[in-house]
Chain A
Amino acid sequence: MAKNLAIIIRELFYFFSALLIVCVILEIIWPNIILAYFNLNYLIVVCVIVGSISLIKK
C-alpha cells in the first residue's frame, strides 16, 4: 500500500511537471493563453510540494 502511494505521488509529480512544461510552452507560443485564466505560480507550488513528498516517501 505504502509502495503504491509512493508510486502515485511520483506519477502525480511527473503529471504536474508535464502540465507545467506544456503550459509554459503554450504561453510562449500564444502569450496570455493560460495566464489570463490561471496563475502558473500555483502550479509550480503544487509541483514543488508533490515533488518534496515524493522525495520523502522514497
Chain B
Amino acid sequence: MFKEAWKKWPFLFKFRLFLGLILFIIILFFLYLKIVPFGHISYSRNYLSHFGSGKGFIYGFTPAERVDLKGGDVPRLIGDPVYFSVFTPRTFDKAKLTIVYRDNLGLDTSLIEAGVLADNVVWRYDLKPVDNKALDYLSLRWNKSEENDNLFLQKEKNYDSLLSFEADLAKGQVKGCETPQRNCLAIYNYSPKYDYQITNYRPAVPLVLNTPLRGAHQFYVYVKNEPLRLEFSLVDLNQDLKPAPITIILSNGDKIIETKTILDENLQPGSGVVEEKSIVITRPALPAGVYKLEVKINNDTIIKKIVSSVDHLSFINKVWPVSSAGALTLYTDSNYLQVKALNPGSLQTINFGGEEFKLSEAYQQFNFQTKTNADDKKISFQKDDIILENNGVFAWSPASLFNPSLPKVDRYFSVQNPVKYIVAKYQKPREEEGFKTATVELNLKEAYRENGKYSFMISIPGLKTENGSQDNLEIYDIKIDLMGRTLWQKIWQ
C-alpha cells in the first residue's frame, strides 16, 4: 500500500519528505546530545589538532600569563594555578579527568594536582593527585603494597597489610613509633582513623582574638569534656557588588555538628557602608577531641573578633590579618611560609624563626624557609594586610598552637623526612615515550556550576612565571568522562 502511494506522490513531495526527515533527525541528534539520556558522555580536546568546527566543551587555559601558547605546538603551563572551564549540556554526578602531558618540571615542583571548583564563596577546589614525585621516588625504594587504591609504603617492613597497620594506628600503637601521629606516618589524599589527644592538657581558659582577619578562615579547637562557646563578630565591608553570605561550620572528623548561616540581602552593594553581624556557636560538654571550625565568607567580609571559651585554637594553613594597625606576632609549626602583600604599604621585612626575610613586591608570592628546629616558629611583622600561608597551622601564642594533622606528602615534604610509613590514595601516572597519562576522579555533585560550566584547576605548587625558570608542563590532551543519572532515573526517581 505504501509502495503504491509512494509511486503516486509527485517528485517534489517525496523530495520535501526526504529533506524534512533529515531535518527531524538532525534536531533529534542535537536533543540527544543535550539530554544525554544514558547519563554518560565524553568530551576531549587534543591540543595538537587544530581541526574542529565548533567551540568545543573544554575551554582555554586562564590566566593568560601562566600559559605559554607560543613556545610550542601545545600549551605550556608556566604558572600556578591554571584554570579551564568545561561546558556541559546538563548536570553530572562524577567526572573522570584524563590528562596527557609532558613533564618539564624541576625538583622543587614535585606535585601536580587537578580538581573542580567546589565552593565559589571561598574559592575552594576539590583537588586530587595527578603526579607526586616524592611518592614515586619512595615507591621504588621502600616496601610497597597497594590495597583498594591505597598505596602503603613502609621504610622497614613491619606490617603485612594496610589493614593491620590501620588497626594498630587506631589503637595508637604503631610498630617502631613512639608517637604515631607525629614523625611516624605521612599521608596524602587519605584520612586515617585515629583520635588525636593532647597529652598534659590543662583546663581551657577563655581566649579573645582581636586581630581582624579578612576572608575565609578555618581553625581547629581542642576540647576535653567541656562546653564550647565561640562568638564571632563579623563586618561586611560592602566594597564589592556581590552578596556576602556567612556560613560557619563546626565539625568533628567527617561529621558536621552544627552549621550557622547568615544570608546577605545585599541591600547596599558597593556602598562602602559597613554592616556588623555576629554568630554564636554554643555546644554543651563535648567529648575530648579536635573540632574544626570553617568560616565561609568572601574577601569583602572581615572576622573582626573571635571570643572562644577554649584557648587551644590554631588556624589551618592560612591567616590574613588586616587593619590591626600595629606590629603582630604569630606562631606556626611549619618551617615554610608563603607571604603575599596585596598592598604596597605592607611591604616590609618579616622575622620568621629568628631570620629576616624581605617582602619586597606587592602581588607576588614569596616563599620563606627557616632553618630553626623549634616546634613553634615565631613570625613577627610590623604591618599587616599580608596573606600568610603554609602547610601547617598558625596561632597567636605558643600555648594555643597545636596541629592534629598528620604530615602530608605535599610540595614541602622531603624524602629525608624521618617518617616510617606513608599511606596515600594515589596512582602513579602511566608513562610512555616521555608522555604521562594521569586520571583523576572528581565528584561533581558538590561542584559549583555557572552558566553551564564547571571550573577546573591544574595546580603545580611552586611553579612560577616570575622566577625566570624554564620549568613547564606541556598539555597534549584533556579528556573528561562525565557520568550522571540517566533520563529514566531523572523521570522516575
Q: Do A and B interact?
A: yes
Instruction: Mark A residues whose CB is within 8 Å of B.
Output: 4, 7-8, 11-12, 14-15, 18-19, 22-23, 26, 30-39, 42
Say yes or no: A19 contacts B12, CB within 8 Å. no
Say yes or no: B30 contacts A26, CB within 8 Å. yes
Q: Report the bound CA distance from A12 to B304 in whole Å.
A: 69
A-B CB pair tally, cutoff 8 Å? 55
Contact of B54 among A18, A31, A38 (CB under 8 A): A38
Say yes or no: A11 contacts B15, CB within 8 Å. yes
Query: What chain B residues lie within 8 Å of A30 (beta carbons)?
Result: 34, 89
A8-B15, A35-B55 known; 19 new pairs, CB 8 Å cut-off, are A4-B11, A7-B11, A7-B15, A11-B15, A11-B19, A12-B19, A15-B19, A15-B23, A19-B23, A19-B26, A26-B30, A33-B30, A33-B33, A34-B30, A35-B54, A36-B55, A36-B56, A37-B54, A38-B53
Does B257 sit at the interface, judged by CB under 8 A?
A: no
Say yes or no: B89 contacts A33, CB within 8 Å. yes
Instruction: Mark B residues whose CB is within 8 Å of A.
Output: 11-12, 15-16, 19, 22-23, 26-27, 30, 33-34, 53-57, 87, 89, 451-452
Closest chain A residue, CB of each to CB of B26: A19
Q: Report the bound CA distance from A22 to B24 in whole Å.
A: 10
Say yes or no: B23 contacts A37, CB within 8 Å. no
Contact of A22 among B12, B15, B27 (CB under 8 A): B27
Say yes or no: B11 contacts A36, CB within 8 Å. no
Query: What chain B residues lie within 8 Å of A4 (beta carbons)?
Result: 11
Given the known inter-chain contacts A11-B12, A15-B22, please indicate yes or no for A36 contacting B27, CB distance below 8 A: no
Q: Report the bound CA distance from A31 to B57 in whole Å.
A: 12
Given the known inter-chain contacts A8-B15, A11-B15, A11-B19, please indicate yes or no for A33 contacting B34, CB distance below 8 A: yes
B322 to chain A, nearest CB (A): 40
Closest chain A residue, CB of each to CB of B89: A33
Q: Report the bound CA distance from A35 to B57 in whole Å.
A: 10
Q: Report the bound CA distance from A27 to B241 in whole Å.
A: 30
Say yes or no: B33 contacts A37, CB within 8 Å. yes
